[in-house]
Amino acid sequence: MSMKILFVSPEFFPFIGGAENHILRICRELKKKNHEIIVFTSTKTARNINGIKIYSENYMFKYSNTPFNFWNFSLKKVIEKEKPEIIAGSLSTPFMADSAARIAKQKNIPFFLFYFNDYVKQKFTEKIFLNFYYSFILKKTFELSRKIIVLSDYYAKKSLLLKSFSGKTMAIHPFIDLNEFTLKTKKQIFSKNRIILFVGALNKGQKYKGLNYLIKSVAELKNAFPDLMLVVIGEGNNINYFKKLTKNLEIEKNVFFAGTVYQSQLLFFYSECETLILPSINDSEGFGLVLLEVMAFSKPVIGSTVGGIPAVIKDKFNGFLVEPKNTKKLTKAISFILTNKSKAKEMGLNSLKKAKEFSSEKEIKKLINLFEEALNEKRN
């Protein structure tokens, strides 16, 4: 049966991020199956796409990567106008999904929460804020959610916040359409360099991505591999810190900041690189969708033993898992891939095999079954 589904997502396409790409792909797949999809977001540049109707409500201000506004009023107007049968909230950042959960309760609409990761903050003030948010807001959102949809069973089991709600969690894995990732090119952009790749936001609120440790590894590798080039794809309010770090380490010629790169051009970087590295430092990394994307190009991958990354990388099979913040081991893993071409190729082929395990058809079917079950119970 066809359903009318409202996705509430703090950011949405053309904003680039793992959570946003995941929600976009889900929306597209549901639309292909003739479900009516509506999105409420704060991304002011968001526009209707592929038959998906977008409502954009700009934020009043943004702290770190969290948009702030009084979402209840504008959300209620959209819900009353569109009358969705299902509401799904994306908890990529706080508050918007929390508001949606409470309105869904008032309107007697089944609510599902897409939960990406625990927030791990280091500053004293951030810890106070998060303790308040977890205790008085997020816990209630969990209670109001019919299901808490996580990226992997692996992450759900290690999440400290989900322990009390294990009976409500269900994994809908990120997926890719392999047909979307079949472009093969000869080296064109950096024909004289050996490319290693980092893809991620460069905001102060996303320091957990660990780019500074990767930059330090490049400084250790530059003498052994003078043609090495780290390509950093992404933008954010902390980019000057990373540029200053490359300057201080005297590796400006070995690091290229590409800024925002859209999907069509991103495929060229995936095709050209020798490996993609995600050196995240804590469990704020819920999955690492970019790992899955580059694996579709038969590339070995390197990531930290944190968050949901071990659900994607099997150590020494399709890449390497290294301890977070351990520059020495990170350098060793990169060096191995650059030095051992036959083994790197073997790992790359294993990456493609593993990428094929993440089927869109299987995951979307699970999600549709969840939604239909909720509607059937409501009608009965």
Q: Does the pLDDT of residue 187 top 70, yes or no?
A: no
**Whether the domain at 4-175+359-379 and the domain at 179-355 fall into the same CATH topology:** yes
pLDDT given at position 344: 97
Q: Does the pLDDT of residue 189 top 70, yes or no?
A: no
Strands 36-41 and 86-91: unpaired
pLDDT given at position 186: 47
The band of 46, judged by pLDDT with boundaries at 50, 70 and 90, is: confident
Q: Does the pLDDT of residue 320 top 60, yes or no?
A: yes
CATH superfamily to which 179-355 belongs: Glycogen Phosphorylase B; (3.40.50.2000)
What are the extents of the domains in the chain? 4-175+359-379, 179-355
> What average pLDDT does this structure show over 281-298?
89
How many angstroms separate the CA atoms of 280 and 244, rounded? Answer: 20
The band of 22, judged by pLDDT with boundaries at 50, 70 and 90, is: very high
Task: Identify the architecture of domain 4-175+359-379 in CATH.
Answer: 3-Layer(aba) Sandwich (3.40)
The band of 245, judged by pLDDT with boundaries at 50, 70 and 90, is: very high
Which range, 53-62, 119-128, 180-189, 219-228, has the best average confidence (pLDDT)? Answer: 219-228
pTM for the full predicted model = 0.85
